[in-house]
Amino acid sequence: MLPVCDHYCGVEARMRKSLALQAELAEEFGAVVFDVTLDCEDGAPAGGEAEHAALVASIALGAAPSARVAARVHPVDHPAFAADVHTIVGQAGARLRHLMIPKVESVTDVARAVAAVDAAGGQNLPLHCLIESPLAVRNAFEIAAHPRVQSLSFGLMDFVSAHGGAIPDSAMTVQGQFEHPLVLRAKLEISAACHAHGKTPAHCVVTEFKNADALGAAARKAARELGYTRMWSIHPDQIRPILRAYAPEQHDIERAAALIEAAEQAQWAPISHQGVLHDRASYRYYWQVLERAFRTGKTLPASVQGHFIHHQPDPELI
C-alpha cells in the first residue's frame, strides 16, 4: 500500500526536514502517511551531479529504519543516470522504497533502467516512472504492464512544453490543467493504464503551493473524478491538504467497516446489508475504502483495526 502523498525535495536542509516531518506525522497519525523522495534531477546543481547523488545516498542510509524514503535519478539518456544509479542504489538500495525514473518514453527505457538498477544490486527495487510527453502517454499501458513498475506519475510542466507551444501556458495552472483537452486526456490515459495493470497512478504537482484551497480542490478532483490514488507534494504545506483530499469521509469509513464486519461474519458469502445485496465485488471496494483510510491516517472503527495494525489483509477477501 503506497501512501497517498509523495513529497519531493532536493536541497539538503529540506531533505532532512522532510524526513523529520515524516516521522512527526507518523507519530501523530499512527502510520507513515507520505513518502519522501530525494531528488537528483531537479536537486543536483549542474556539474555537481556526483556529489548530490552521494548526498542522497548518505541521507537515505541515515534515515530511521521505519522511514519511507525514495530517490529520483536523472533520465536514462542523461549523462549522470548511470552514476546516479550506481551510487544511490549501490550504497542505499536496501533502504529505498522505490526509484523514480523521469522522462520515460517507452518500455525500452524501463528495461534500460531495470538493467542499471539490477547491476547496482537493486534487483527487488520497484520503479516509478514519470510520464511527461505525448509519446510516453501513447505508451503508458505498455509501461504500466512492466512487472518492475509500481506507479506512473504525470509530469504536467514537461508535458505541456513538449507540445512546442501548441498548448497554452494556462494549461499548467491549477485550474487550466483540468480544462485543456490534451492535458485532461493524458491524465485519464495514465490513470487508466495504471488501473488496468494494478499499479498506482500519481497526480502531478500543484505549483501554486501557497493556495491551500486551490490545492485541495485539485487533489479532490484528481482523486474523485480522474481515478488517481496518489499525488505529488513539493512543499510541506501541501501534505496535509493532500491527505485530507484523498481520505474517505468518516461516514464512508463507518459504512465500509460495518459492511466488512457483516461480510466476515458470513465468511464472505453474499449478504443483504441494509436492504442492498453485496458480494465479493463490493467487499473489495469497501476494503479499499478502509485501506485508503489507513493510508491517510484516519481512525478506523475497532471492528476492523486488527486487519490493518499488522498490515495483513484477510486472504479470503483478497
The verdict on 83 and 41 lying in the same domain is yes
Output the CA angle 249-299-233, nearest 5 degrees. Answer: 70
Question: For position 56, which CATH number holds?
Answer: 3.20.20.60
Phi, psi of 15 (to 5 degrees): -65, -45
The verdict on 73 and 197 lying in the same domain is yes
The verdict on 216 and 290 lying in the same domain is no
The verdict on 261 and 238 lying in the same domain is no
Closest CA to 284 of 306, 313, 249: 313
Q: Tell me the C-alpha to C-alpha distance, in Å, between residue 47 and each of 40, 53, 55, 82, 116.
A: 12, 12, 14, 15, 22
Q: What is the mean pLDDT of residues 106-135?
A: 98
- Residue 237: which pLDDT band, with cuts at 50, 70 and 90? very high
Q: What is the mean pLDDT of residues 6-32?
A: 95
Q: What is the mean pLDDT of residues 10-32?
A: 95
Q: Which amino acid is at 235?
A: H
What the block records as the C-alpha cell of 192 is 487508466
The residues that bridge with 149 in the sheet, in sequence order, are 127
Q: Structurally, how many domains does the chain consist of?
A: 2
72 annotated as belonging to a binding site for a ligand = yes
The verdict on 131 and 255 lying in the same domain is no
The verdict on 54 and 149 lying in the same domain is yes
Higher pLDDT pick, 223 / 299: 223
What the block records as the C-alpha cell of 148 is 518492475
What the block records as the C-alpha cell of 4 is 497517498
The verdict on 111 and 178 lying in the same domain is yes
The verdict on 294 and 148 lying in the same domain is no
Cα dihedral 270, 273, 277, 278 in deg (nearest 10): -50
132 annotated as belonging to a binding site for a ligand = yes
Residue with cell 502523498: 5
- Residue 312: which pLDDT band, with cuts at 50, 70 and 90? very low
The verdict on 40 and 101 lying in the same domain is yes
Q: Which domain holds residue 266?
A: 250-317
User: Which helix (H) or strand (E) covers residue 291, if one does?
Assistant: helix 280-295
- Residue 317: which pLDDT band, with cuts at 50, 70 and 90? very low
Q: Which residues contact 268 (CB under 8 A, 6 or more apart)?
A: 280, 283, 316, 317
**Mean pLDDT score of the chain, rounded to an integer?**
93
Q: Which amino acid is at 3?
A: P
pLDDT > 70 in the chain, percent: 97
DSSP alpha helices (H): ranges in 123-231?
A: 134-138, 140-145, 156-161, 181-196, 212-224
Closest CA to 63 of 102, 91, 83, 42: 91
Residue that is last in its domain, among 184, 212, 246: 246
What the block records as the C-alpha cell of 186 is 493524458
Write down the pLDDT at residue 309. Answer: 63
Residue that is last in its domain, among 246, 261, 280: 246
The verdict on 26 and 155 lying in the same domain is yes
CA dihedral sign of residues 59, 60, 65, 68: positive
The Cα–Cα gap between 168 and 107 comes to 29
158 annotated as belonging to a binding site for a ligand = yes
Widest distance between CA atoms in the chain: 66
Residue that is last in its domain, among 246, 270, 301: 246
The verdict on 200 and 80 lying in the same domain is yes
Closest CA to 71 of 131, 154, 127, 145: 127
For residues 236 and 212, is the Cβ–Cβ distance under 8 A? no
What the block records as the C-alpha cell of 191 is 490513470
- pLDDT of residue 223 exceeding 80: yes
Segment 159-187, tens digit of pLDDT = 999 999 999 999 999 999 999 999 999 99
The Cα–Cα gap between 178 and 200 comes to 20
Closest CA to 178 of 196, 203, 197, 199: 203
The verdict on 124 and 169 lying in the same domain is yes
